[in-house]
Amino acid sequence: MRTYDLSGGKLCDALPAALRADILSGTLTPGEKLPSKRRFAEHHGISVNTVQNAYEQLIAEGYIEARERSGYYVADFPAELPPVPTPAGQRHTNKEEKKADVILDLVTNTTDASRFPFSLWARLMRRVLTEEESRLLAPLPAAGAPALREAIAAYLREGRGIAADSEQIVIGAGTEYLYQLLLHLLGRERCFGVENPGHTKIARIYALNGVRFCPVPLDEGGVDPAALDPLGVEVLHISPNHHFPTGTVMPATRRRALLHWMQGGDRYIIEDDYDSEFRFTGRPIPPLFGMDEAGRVIYMNTFSKTIAPSMRISYMVLPKSLLPRYRDMLGFYACPVPAFEQYTLARFLREGHFERHLHRMRTFYRTRRDEVISLLKNAPFADRIDIREADAGLHFLVRINTQRSDAELRSVFEKNGIRVAFLGDYDIGGKRSDTHTVVLNYSGVEPRELAAGILCLAEK
């Protein structure tokens, strides 16, 4: 058995990283059986739980697979990627506002105000006022305050495994602003591929800007690269780490296939890391950005989910090959996020408050998710529903076994003051076929309100 050096960093990160590296390098070949958890643990002098957690993490990422009564095996990977050529030079909501008679909203992802660290944030703001002084009044670089970009770069290295310099990070007032920058940067004449089903807001932004976009159908692994060339897609906009609304986590084989597709021309992938922080089983899924050797994956994320919706601070990480073009084309832009907020958030990140806040919020949302699922599983109609994709993110799917159409089901919900969205509502092609599947956003759901709603629905 191969012996791994697990002395560097945390053991829970070092072990899956070592196995992942062997799989990617071909040292561990497709179909090869891995040692049993107990044998592996005894050989390396570590606990069986540590090995089990590592195996489960690699299963979630699609690197290995478990076969019942047989063991763990390396997943089947496509051929190695070709060498990189040397370069020559919505969140969808049914309605924007709640109706006055809505007593239970299962559509809008809101945060619990009591969970925001108000007193800590106030202390940081006072320190920023007294210590930053003139920097608060000085013009900011187009990409944002260096202090915040450096803090984000440090967080990405430690928390998401992204090795990026602060100069690659661009701060924006929400992802919509960053989408606009990317349309200028990549060119409006390109065809943009968007996931279908998916966030309808993304497609609406592209349409509003006169950009040609193509809805790309999904299968169980996400976007199929074979579907891209017939559609003429040149820029692919995806959320591989936790897709909304299906909840799909793209396996490693599919990610590598998409990187292979991207290297077949002047193509780019926009990776929206939506909801990735709220994964409740295993470690967070490593971003596609970290697998990209061609330098054409653009990573995007926001603090509106992890801190507060009103925190309109988002960011993207540009590949280094795009930095000269960004500076030439967009370097004259004024950064739209106030300096005061940027310096405060920089301290929140740099001093470790963000990581601690994330840990608390994961615990809170895991508890809330479990409460919501328990209520559903104990409902009078529990035998007529099927809960899916509940291991990550702030939503999951509830399939209803019924002959009623989605329109009829929606009417029943609305008459009882319950606002819902169905999977078919996120069809960018506009087909809106019956799915009998509710996309249940639970972050703003009070269990007692859901319990009352269940009693009403039970009679229907």
DSSP-derived secondary structure for 259-327? HHHHTTTT-EEEEE-TTTT-B-SSSPPPPGGGG-SSS-EEEEEESTTTT-TT---EEEE--GGGHHHHH
Whether 169 is covered by a domain: the verdict is yes
CATH number for the domain harbouring residue 68? 1.10.10.10
* CA-based nearest residue to 387, from 439, 434, 425, 455: 439
Q: Do 318 and 360 fall into the same domain?
A: no
Same domain membership, residue 397 and residue 312: no
Give the tens place of pLDDT for each residue, 102-152.
888 999 877 777 788 999 999 999 999 999 988 899 999 999 999 999 999
Do residues 346 and 367 share a domain? no
CB atoms within 10 A of CB 9: 10
Distance of alpha carbon 254 from alpha carbon 238, whole angstroms:
12
Which of the listed residues 351, 383, 412 is the one where a domain comes to its end?
351
* Domain count along the chain: 3
Whether the pLDDT of residue 22 is over 70: the answer is: yes
Which CATH number belongs to the domain containing residue 178 in this structure?
Answer: 3.40.640.10
Domain-ending residue, one of 301, 319, 351: 351
Kindly report the pTM of this predicted structure: 0.84
> Whole-number mean pLDDT of the chain?
88
Residue 2 falls inside a structural domain: no
CB atoms within 10 A of CB 177: 17
Please give the Cα distance from 424 to 406 (Å, whole number). 8
**Residue 224 confidence (pLDDT):** 93
Same domain, yes or no: 386 and 343: no
**Could you tell me the residue range of the domain that residue 192 belongs to?**
118-351
Q: What is the CATH number of the domain that holds 385?
A: 3.90.1150.10
**Same domain assignment for residues 201 and 57:** no
pLDDT at 71: 92
Do 199 and 345 have their domain in common? yes
Same domain, 325 and 384: no
Which residues have a Cβ under 8 Å from the Cβ of 22 and sit 6 or more positions away? 2, 28
Mean pLDDT, residues 283-306 taken together = 90
Q: Answer yes or no: do 62 and 192 share one domain.
A: no
179 domain-assigned? yes
169 and 44 in a common domain: no
If asked whether residues 285 and 164 sit together in one domain, one would say: yes
Report how far apart, in Å, the C-alpha atoms of 53 and of each of 46, 49, 64, 137 are. 12, 6, 13, 49
End of a domain among 299, 334, 351?
A: 351
Q: What percent of the chain has pLDDT over 90?
A: 56
Question: How would you class 385 by CB atoms within 10 Å of its CB: exposed for 0-12, middle for 13-18, buried for 19 or more?
Answer: middle
Taking only the tens place, the pLDDT of each residue in 224-276 is 999 999 999 999 999 998 888 998 889 999 999 999 999 988 999 999 997 77
- Do 250 and 311 have their domain in common? yes
Distance, in Å, from the CA atom of 187 to the CA atom of 210, rounded to the nearest integer, reads: 11
Q: Is 194 helix (H, G, I), strand (E, B) or coil?
A: strand
Asked if residue 136 and residue 52 are part of one domain, the reply reads no
Looking at residue 8, its pLDDT comes to 67
Q: Per residue in 131-141, pLDDT tens?
A: 998 889 999 99
Residue 94 forms part of a structural domain: no
Q: Is the pLDDT of residue 94 over 60?
A: no
Contacts of 100 (CB under 8 A, 6+ apart): none
Tokens of 104: 């239970």
- Does residue 86 lie in a domain region? no
